Amino acid sequence: MLFNSFVFLLAFLPTALILHGLVARAAPAWRLPLLVGLSFVFYGWWDVRFVPLLAGSILANWCVARLYRHRPGRWLIPVAIAANLALLGVFKYLDFAADLANLIPGLETQRLGLALPLGISFFTFHHIMYLADLRAGRAPSFGLVKYALYIAFFPQVLAGPLVRWSEIMHQFDEQPYARPDAAERFARGLMLLTVGLAKKVFLGDPLAEYVNPVFQAAAAGKAVTVVEAWQATLGFTFQIYFDFSGYTDMALGIALLFGLVLPQNFDVPYRATSLRDFWRRWHMTLSRFLRDYLYVPMGGNRRGLPRQVGALAVTMTLGGLWHGAGLTFLAWGALHGIGLGAGVLARRARIAIPAPLGWALTSLFVVLTWVLFRATSFEAALVIFKGLFGLAPRGSGFKWRTIAIAALVATVGPTAWTAVHRLPPRRLLACGFALLFVLVLLKIGDDANYEFIYFQF
């Protein structure tokens, strides 16, 4: 069930809101159990076989947390975190490991072909954040219902944002529709949902037509012209932004409809004037997770320059692997780690880069490395790079209009979060409903792209 589908917009979401509103007023104690139940229905709509996996993961980690509170042991939390990572590894990386093993002459390893449970990367990281903070003495223990809702809350269970327990647990105790600003928050949520849908449907999906055929041709070993390579690379640069940031806007908006505030995940990343600035603006909740739970424990910037540069390289390489089980993802992450390390060295050397030049260099680096992120192999990436660097026929017919509009919106326009919170509250509700239904009637139909890029990660 995708946010841009009729079954979600016209059936699940209205039903969930009506039930939630009735229970919040008539039986407030049942509000959180209802949200847990709705979340499992939403998750099970994809593939009911994975509901026991999600439920078992929640129950096991909650039991570990309770046991640690009563009998704190030195190794209990690390073993639990390792078990979570092992579960993620089995589903996401076992076949990748088999492929690597098959590169060794004389060694033949069978791929298991396990289906990847949707959202496993995200709910695994939610478990890790809570358990790590519990061991550090920063997190209290919670009841099973609250913990289950923290992990499985349906707007963010499939593709984030990565929400810290401290950002949302206290909100579970509030009565959202009793707040004086309840109507305003509901209206802003509706607008965020609408803007996210618009970004996905009007910008992200059309760009796929410029991207997919070219990368598929490259994967098949066919020649790609210079025009096609730049069209596909720039197209993907903005496609992934509007696809993923659009999903995030929808998730934040839907959560607001239920009275819960999730953290912002994008802040105009293509305005960044350095690679460090880019990662402070792109997938912000993942960036801070990697910083706080990987980079800092490895020493961060507290143990000398070599350790800092090494920690950046390892952190970003593992971040690349988290995005996908493939060598191209590893290379993408490693290049960003090297780029961040180079930025540290430049700052230590007090090399001042003018903002316009910093923006140009950062944009070029990000655009070029997106090729590795999108390509299915190094061979396919090389075909695209040959086109980008002019080592292929020039070609003709660059389709610039949609890309130009996407670039303008992505770099000049405000974030959806900022725009929605600047609108006059009294007009939000009417505008939100009008825009939503226009989108539903005009664009979301049988020809819609019922896919989100980040769901494969």
The residues annotated with a catalytic role in the active site are 323
Tell me how far apart the alpha carbons of residues 56 and 54 are, in angstroms, rounded to a whole number. Answer: 6
Tell me how far apart the alpha carbons of residues 252 and 150 are, in angstroms, rounded to a whole number. Answer: 14
Tell me how far apart the alpha carbons of residues 147 and 15 are, in angstroms, rounded to a whole number. Answer: 24
| Three-class secondary structure assignment of the chain | CCCCCHHHHHHHHHHHHHHHHHHHHHCHHHHHHHHHHHHHHHHHHHCHHHHHHHHHHHHHHHHHHHHHHHCCCCCHHHHHHHHHHHHHHHHHHHHHHHHHHCCCCCCCCCCCCCCCCCCHHHHHHHHHHHHHHHHCCCCCCCCHHHHHHHHHCCCCCCCCCCCCHHHHHHHHHCCHHHCCCHHHHHHHHHHHHHHHHHHHHHHHHHHHHHHHHHHHHHHCCCCCCHHHHHHHHHHHHHHHHHHHHHHHHHHHHHHHHCCCCCCCCCCCHHHCCCHHHHHHHCCHHHHHHHHHHHHCCCCCCCCCHHHHHHHHHHHHHHHHHHHCCCHHHHHHHHHHHHHHHHHHHHHHCCCCCCHHHHHHHHHHHHHHHHHHHHCCCHHHHHHHHHHHCCCCCCCCCCCCHHHHHHHHHHHCCCCHHHHHHHCCHHHHHHHHHHHHHHHHHHCCCCCCCCCCHHHHC
Nearest C-alpha neighbor of 315 from the set 332, 329, 298 = 298
Tell me how far apart the alpha carbons of residues 274 and 334 are, in angstroms, rounded to a whole number. Answer: 17
Tokens representing residue 17 in the block: 């809101």
